[in-house]
Structure 1
Amino acid sequence: MATDYKKIGEDILAVVGEGNILSITHCATRLRLEVKDRMLIEDQEIEKIDQVKGVFFNAGQYQIILGTGIVNKVYESIIQNNPVFQDKVTNLEEIKKEGNPIKRGIRTLADIFIPIIPGIVATGLFLGLKGVVLNDTVLGFFGTSADHIPAYMLTLMSVLTDTVFAFLPALICWSAFKKFGGTPIIGFVIGLMLVSPMLPNAYSVADINSGVNPIIAFGFIPIVGYQGSVLTALVIGILGAKLERILRKRMPDSLDLMFTPFVVIFVMMLTGLLILGPLLHFVENGLVYVVEGLIHVPFGIGGLIIGFFISVSRNDGNASFIYYD
């Protein structure tokens, strides 16, 4: 008998109470609800619902464990059949500020990165497959070598393995806009501008043998693409979403559709390429040096420090992008 995901969603709403829900989202296995009053929910009734594996409440979120694949379908059925919840997907105004700042920060990062993890995981599998296919031993077993693989095959493999990382800033900006109440497509456009092919490729600029140099603006600001830059895309996405929400409250309705996206994209593009991008690039490099330095600290002290921060992420009830389920 086929699983009725619509009924599961309806049963959950009946027990939790539609008016009790402030926001709704999901991770890999759990439906995550920000609720007004946790005491109104009968855990035993939720656990009786088909496909529910368990429930728990942590840091302001009521989390219903449904399992991989199932949670996506239940979530979609709730959103599609209850238009009122479409606004609550990104409504952050009424979310309770429970838990310490570290946990809230980890939860926010998790909400941004979890939606793009499937693409990254799939790309990782493609990279592994590419490594096997191009392995000299494997090719030798079939009596061939990498030189005999057609160029179009190599191109197709590169498309599978490189695309997500090449446009990672666009995905992060999209997810950040969605999380912070902006229009996701505006975030996606801004993210694409950060990696525009008209800009010097960041990887090529970093390669001293490529001969590619950054564009210099105003005589001292280097302009490059931000391929693979997580921090720049994350900050631009958050600030852009907040700017959009501010503008929409003040922009006349007749001008909102046209001029709000125009201003947000224009301001965040200039901010990203001329101000925050160059500054955050140094921050990212500094973080890399710090981690590399910690790795080489004797007696395992560096590993202990890194492990401490990972454990903080893992112990958060809502999971982080390091350990998201």
Structure 2
Amino acid sequence: MSENRQIAEEVIEAVGGKDNIESVAHCATRLRLMVADKSKIDQEKVESIAKVKGAFFNSGQYQIIFGTGTVNRIYDEVTQFGFTTRSASEQKKEARKKGSRLQRMIRTFGDVFVPIIPVLVATGLFMGVRGLVMQEQILGLFGMKPDDVSENFILYTQVLTDTAFIFLPALVAWSTFKVFGGTPIIGLVLGLMLVSPSLPNAWDVAGGDVKPIHFFGFIPVVGYQASVIPAFIAGLIGAKLEKYLRKRIPEILDLILTPFLTLLVMSVLSLLIIGPIFHSVEQWILSAATVILSWPYGISGILLGGLNQLIVITGVHHIFNMLEIQLLSKYHDNPYNAIVTCAAAAQAGATLAVALKTKSAKLKALAFPSSLSAFLGITEPAIFGVNLRYGKPFLMGLIGGAVGGFFSSLLGLKGTGMAITVLPGTLLYLNGQVFQYIFVNLLAVAVAFILTWWFGYSDDAKEESNE
């Protein structure tokens, strides 16, 4: 029997046997299992198997880390036992069906905004680069001053940085229709209607230069440039309406009547009811978030920096995507990113301390790549594979995150984008804050590293936890 075959058999036995495995998938480094009863998993036995570098539950999946290349060979052996196979994306969809109603709702909410994030990341990077090249010191290297910059260049940078936010309702409505089973192109057109140039521009109305249109003498109607919640609600109701109509309209008329009625009804509802109501709700949420982020003495930084990774454990952290999008769309900066990046950096520092202090070759092989992943902004391997596994490193990481968040708040750090943190996130602070950003992240890493090294981990404690 080959070694990989034996490992596959040991894995199956350790996770509760064949009957406990519902489906099998893998990604670049991990074997991903959907199990019927996670209480049947023998965690110690799994972690003692040769070539296993760690195992943890995340997003409803039991993930066993084997590493690049190895995982493909183990997966091939496991599938020989006749399990249902899934792609990683299919299994994620399967996992979303599990969990509490609140968890499923928040995951669905995240599914709407995650596809939009890449263009907002790009927009944030454009803002950061523009902030860099427009600094007097940088222009001075080319013998220029800010007044020497071409108006056409400024116009071009505005195209790069403003387009995604001007048409944000179209992106949100498109994604919402897609997630809730509607036709995405109908959602896209509905979203474009919310920012039609025929309507008063929301930013001009807010600036007092333009007045809203009043329907029936009392309903204010404006464009909803940069709005999120009205487009989300419109997309949700619109997708449900489209599905309702498709079930009742004869097939021969479906192509004509379904899009027509969906857009007709939803345009009226969106502009006259959903828009005015939920735009106000959106402003209340944004105002509350702004107040919290502006609490004095670094209090908001301590709370958000210290608690962020606890929220990551629950898997509901994607709900904050909407907050970040709102901050960027209205203020064109994002103080939340600056705080939570310290939380990620601190977990990386705690994991790095474990990697350097342990004498276990197996733990080193898990902790070093997990730490690198966290330094790149992906903390789940570090949290579930190392820090939570031994408890104290995770706590030291929370303390490091609170310290880094505290100084980030005091220094008034604000990124130009979202969704990227720690090392990649440096690109969001080219607006003259890069040194402060590096400082707070190094501080978070140092605090978590030192505390973990002194108080958070020892191989003796590791052996005791395995007894």
Q: Would you call these one fold, judging by a TM-score over 0.5?
A: yes
Specify the alignment match of 2:108 in structure 1.
108
Counterpart pick for 1:275 among 267, 273, 276: 273
How is 1:197-236 mapped onto 2 (pairs within 5 angstroms)?
A: 197-208=197-208, 211-236=209-234
Q: Which sits farther off after the overlay, 128-137 or 183-192?
A: 128-137
Supply the AA of the counterpart residue of 1:110. Answer: G
In 1, the alpha carbon distance for the partners of 2:256 and 2:66 equals 41
Specify the alignment match of 1:96 in structure 2.
97
In 2, the alpha carbon distance for the partners of 1:288 and 1:224 equals 19
How is 1:147-296 mapped onto 2 (pairs within 5 angstroms)?
A: 147-208=147-208, 211-295=209-293
Supply the AA of the counterpart residue of 1:132. Answer: L
TM-score (norm 1): 0.69
Q: Give aligned pairs, total.
A: 278
What secondary structure is seen at the aligned counterpart in 2 of 1:315?
A: helix
Unmatched runs of 5 consecutive residues or more in structure 2? 1-21, 39-45, 47-52, 68-86, 321-339, 341-376, 379-467
Alpha carbons 1:59, 1:99 under 8 Å: kept: no
- Percent sequence identity over aligned pairs: 47
Deviation at 1:131, TM superposition (A): 0.9
Alpha carbons 1:60, 1:99 under 8 Å: kept: no
In 2, the alpha carbon distance for the partners of 1:305 and 1:112 equals 27
* 1:7-63 per-position Cα deviation (integer Å, ceiling 9, x unaligned): xxxxxxxxxxxxx78xx9x9xx999x9979689xxxx9xxxxxxxx98765565677
Alpha carbons 1:59, 1:317 under 8 Å: kept: yes
Q: CA RMSD in A?
A: 4.3
Supply the AA of the counterpart residue of 2:206. Answer: A
In 1, the alpha carbon distance for the partners of 2:260 and 2:37 equals 41
* 1:168-227 per-position Cα deviation (integer Å, ceiling 9, x unaligned): 11111111111111111111111111111111111111002xx21111111011111111
Supply the AA of the counterpart residue of 2:97. Answer: K
Alpha carbons 1:169, 1:233 under 8 Å: kept: yes
What secondary structure is seen at the aligned counterpart in 1 of 2:144?
A: coil
Alpha carbons 2:214, 2:221 under 8 Å: kept: yes
What secondary structure is seen at the aligned counterpart in 2 of 1:155?
A: helix
In 1, the alpha carbon distance for the partners of 2:189 and 2:118 equals 21
Specify the alignment match of 1:12 in structure 2.
none
In 2, the alpha carbon distance for the partners of 1:30 and 1:179 equals 28
Supply the AA of the counterpart residue of 1:119. Answer: V
In 2, the alpha carbon distance for the partners of 1:251 and 1:65 equals 50
| Pair 1:64–1:153, CA change in 2 (3 A) | farther
Unmatched runs of 5 consecutive residues or more in structure 1? 1-19, 45-52, 68-84
Specify the alignment match of 1:81 in structure 2.
none
In 1, the alpha carbon distance for the partners of 2:295 and 2:147 equals 42
Q: Which sits farther off after the overlay, 106-115 or 297-306?
A: 297-306
Deviation at 1:148, TM superposition (A): 2.5
Specify the alignment match of 1:7 in structure 2.
none
Alpha carbons 2:96, 2:107 under 8 Å: kept: no
Alpha carbons 1:178, 1:184 under 8 Å: kept: yes
Deviation at 1:302, TM superposition (A): 5.9
| Pair 1:141–1:224, CA change in 2 (3 A) | same
What secondary structure is seen at the aligned counterpart in 2 of 1:212?
A: coil
Alpha carbons 2:170, 2:192 under 8 Å: kept: yes
In 1, the alpha carbon distance for the partners of 2:159 and 2:240 equals 34
Q: Which sits farther off after the overlay, 232-241 or 120-129?
A: 232-241
Q: Which sits farther off after the overlay, 142-151 or 103-112?
A: 142-151
What secondary structure is seen at the aligned counterpart in 2 of 1:216?
A: strand
Supply the AA of the counterpart residue of 2:100. Answer: G
TM-score (norm 2): 0.50
Higher CA-based Rg:
2
Specify the alignment match of 1:320 in structure 2.
318
Q: Which sits farther off after the overlay, 290-299 or 234-243?
A: 290-299
| Pair 1:267–1:55, CA change in 2 (3 A) | farther
* 1:236-266 per-position Cα deviation (integer Å, ceiling 9, x unaligned): 1111111111111112111111111111111
Specify the alignment match of 2:362 in structure 1.
none
In 1, the alpha carbon distance for the partners of 2:66 and 2:285 equals 37
